[in-house]
Chain A
Amino acid sequence: EAGVTQSPTHLIKTRGQQATLRCSPISGHTSVYWYQQALGLGLQFLLWYDEGEERNRGNFPPRFSGRQFPNYSSELNVNALELEDSALYLCASSLALQLAGANTGELFFGEGSRLTVL
């Protein structure tokens, strides 16, 4: 069974450009989470989608946005890139919130997309 897949693996952009990162969840998972992992800062929560709806977002500026498609795949967009956006962006999937219940938080991570902003 395929795990969480993310693309691209690496992305190099310059300041001011836009980046689009994509994620396909594990089959049967309808919840998708996005995290930013910058060097030395740990995993910072970005966005949580559950069955097509945005459930929550972290303390990031509006230029970080995303969406979840009907097939539950997801896209993270970062506009007006800044140097400090350079990081590993991790996508994770889990069962739908209503199915996960108390198990909400049991995430399966993809290998990440490394974004470098020059």
Chain B
Amino acid sequence: QKEVEQNSGPLSVPEGAIASLNCTYSDRVSQSFFWYRQYSGKSPELIMSIYSNGDKEDGRFTAQLNKASQYVSLLIRDSQPSDSATYLCAVFGGATNKLIFGTGTLLAVQP
């Protein structure tokens, strides 16, 4: 089992729709959870962090965490073509003591 798993996509959504990206992790004592965005040919950039169960909203982005289910998600409301990128889920594991990335989900927002 991979430490952090994501569907590789591509996930295609029309402009203005809600994009839903999902991630599961294996380390039960993981402490911190992150979403990074990586445009093609660029380096990753942090867009959201979440540390406790529930939802965290920042503009058009909402991160959701369910530690019991070992599940993290990212919702992007009113998706724009500029949101087209690979979204990387990252988990800082209490047991592993390192930040592990999933392989990313490619999001394509169609104009």
**Residues of A bordering B, CB below 8 Å:** 33, 35, 41-43, 45, 48, 55-56, 58, 90, 102-112
* Band of interface residues on B: 20 to 34
Whether, in the assembled complex, B45 has its beta carbon less than 8 Å from a beta carbon of chain A, the answer is: yes
A43 touches B88 (CB 8 A): yes
A-B contact count (CB 8 A): 57
Which of chain B's residues have a CB closer than 8 A to the CB of A42?
88, 101-104
Whether, in the assembled complex, B92 has its beta carbon less than 8 Å from a beta carbon of chain A, the answer is: yes
**Residues of B bordering A, CB below 8 Å:** 31-34, 36, 42-46, 49, 51, 88, 90-92, 96-104
CA distance A102 to B52 in the complex (A): 10
Which of chain B's residues have a CB closer than 8 A to the CB of A55?
97-98
CA distance A62 to B101 in the complex (A): 22
Chain B interface SS verdict (over half): strand
CA distance A103 to B36 in the complex (A): 14
| Chain A, Cβ-Cβ closest to B90 | A105
Which of chain A's residues have a CB closer than 8 A to the CB of B96?
56
Q: A56-B98, A106-B46, A108-B46 are in contact. Are A41 and B34 (CB under 8 A)?
A: no
CA distance A45 to B90 in the complex (A): 11
Within 8 Å by CB of B46, from A33, A102, A107, A110, lies: A107
